[in-house]
Chain A
Amino acid sequence: LAKTTQPISMDSYEGQEVNITCSHNNIATNDYITWYQQFPSQGPRFIIQGYKTKVTNEVASLFIPADRKSSTLSLPRVSLSDTAVYYCLVGASTGRRALTFGSGTRLQVQP
């Protein structure tokens, strides 16, 4: 499975836009990119998933360049409740294989 690299931590303030970039140089042709959010003592929560270009939902946007070797999770106007660990994962969309978790990015939102 493709290995991912993310910043260990990021700091932001309430109301700001936060962009977290993930590198996945060895992504395979059939791999999708998925982002999860995890709060302490909770299971990861699905945020967004994409294959190429841009995907947007009610909570975030995912930008994927043409070469797909990286992706950026964009959180608009963060609040204190967005303080969490964010994981970027890549894996095949089919085949029912587990996802390999990297270290994730610990986002701290300040008032």
Chain B
Amino acid sequence: GAVVSQHPSWVICKSGTSVKIECRSLDFQATTMFWYRQFPKQSLMLMATSNEGSKATYEQGVEKDKFLINHASLTLSTLTVTSAHPEDSSFYICSAITPQAGAEETQYFGPGTRLLVL
């Protein structure tokens, strides 16, 4: 299957600092990527849809000024958590859709980034 990577795999930062997480599609071009957040023992929750060359679309309740998304190329999307606070500590997962010759498209996920804000 298609490979999606994330960097870093984990990060610890002080409250008030900003953290950037990268999501890359390694063997395919992804015009659309998604960012999810997952708290312990809970399911994934969609944060935003990232489209190459245009502004991201955020889900209701997600602050676009706090979670900055940039999708500058067909293989890279970044999520920047600005002025991070302890409540932003979570597991952040990106995904990308592979283009298919047939009708169906499949969404592949990155390995996730664990963020801990002290």
> CB distance B43 to A41 under 8 Å?
no
Query: Could you tell me which B residues sit within 8 Å of A by CB distance?
Result: 1, 4, 6, 31-32, 34, 36, 43-46, 49, 91, 93, 95, 97, 103-112, 114
Asked whether any CB of chain B lies closer than 8 Å to the CB of A63, the reply is no
> CB distance B104 to A32 under 8 Å?
yes
Closest Cβ–Cβ distance, residue B8 to chain A (whole Å): 13
Interface size on A, residues (CB 8 A): 23
> Binding site of B, secondary structure by majority: helix, strand, loop or mixed?
strand
Across-interface contacts of A49 in B (CB, < 8 A): 104, 106
Please pick, from A32, A43, A98, the residue contacting B112 in the complex, using a CB distance under 8 A. A43
> Could you give, for residues 40-74 of chain A, a 1 whenever the CB lies within 8 Å of some chain B CB and a 0 otherwise?
01111110010100000000000000000000000
